[in-house]
């Protein structure tokens, strides 16, 4: 049987390969409940607090429910050789922007150049911190997703940049998305 901690708490340790656990706690006052779950997969977790139901979600599910979805897009037609364009955004005070995907694309503005390489590059730039956490590129475009999102803090200026690296004018595109909390 586990011993009480010096602070009066009573640890409960349960180790099993597979289980369903129901816990009822009745007390006049509860200072804190700390739960540490180490498992490869966890099913539904529901917590009822005095007739208030509290849901616990995995982060990707919670982001969809609670985060304010953000999408950034730019289309820049007939851009010259070595030209870059950007979409700029300032993260509002008290918010954090999380980017989960970033994409760029390029195709020749003149149909005579459609068989040529359509090289483009793109980057996410935190102007405020003077950092470029992501750079991508490719022939015709590129795209990347971020399992842990790229974070931009409150009041930071973010540039979503696309660069025409082809040897002819191109229509270039930039797209990014995520959520803001």
Residues 47-76: pLDDT tens digits? 666 656 666 667 666 666 667 899 999 999
Task: Name the residue range of residue 161's domain.
Answer: 65-180
Q: Is residue 71 a part of any domain in this protein?
A: yes
Domain CATH code at residue 132: 2.60.120
Residue 99 binned pLDDT confidence (cut-offs 50, 70, 90): very high
Euclidean distance between CA atoms 120 and 140, whole angstroms = 7
Number of separate domains in the chain:
1
Which residue did the predictor score with more confidence, 144 or 66? 144
Give the residue carrying structure tokens 């030209």.
83
* Per-residue confidence (pLDDT) for residue 130, from 0 to 100: 97
Instruction: Return the pLDDT at 129.
Output: 97
Residue 5 lies in a domain: no
What percentage of residues in the chain have a pLDDT greater than 70?
75
| 106-132: average pLDDT | 97
Residue 134: name the closest of 179, 89, 102 by CA: 102
Backbone angles phi, psi at 34, to 5 degrees: -110, 125
**11, 5 in Cβ contact below 8 A?**
yes
């Amino acid at each position: 049987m586990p011993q009480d901690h010096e602070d009066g708490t009573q640890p409960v340790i349960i180790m099993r390969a597979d289980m369903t656990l129901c816990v009822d706690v009745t007390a006049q006052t509860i200072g804190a409940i700390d739960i540490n779950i180490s498992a490869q997969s966890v099913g539904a977790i529901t917590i009822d607090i005095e007739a208030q139901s509290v849901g616990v979600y995995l982060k990707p599910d919670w982001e969809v429910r609670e985060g304010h979805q953000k999408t950034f897009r730019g289309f820049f037609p007939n851009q010259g050789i070595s030209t870059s364009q950007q979409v700029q955004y300032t993260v509002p005070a008290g918010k954090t922007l999380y980017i989960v995907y970033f994409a760029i694309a390029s195709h020749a503005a003149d149909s005579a150049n459609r068989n040529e390489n359509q090289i483009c590059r793109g980057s996410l730039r935190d102007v405020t911190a003077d950092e470029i956490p992501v750079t991508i590129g490719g022939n015709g475009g590129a795209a990347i997703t971020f399992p842990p999102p790229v974070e931009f803090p409150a009041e930071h200026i973010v540039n979503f940049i696309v660069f025409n690296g082809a040897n002819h004018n191109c229509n270039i595109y930039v797209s990014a998305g995520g959520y803001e909390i």
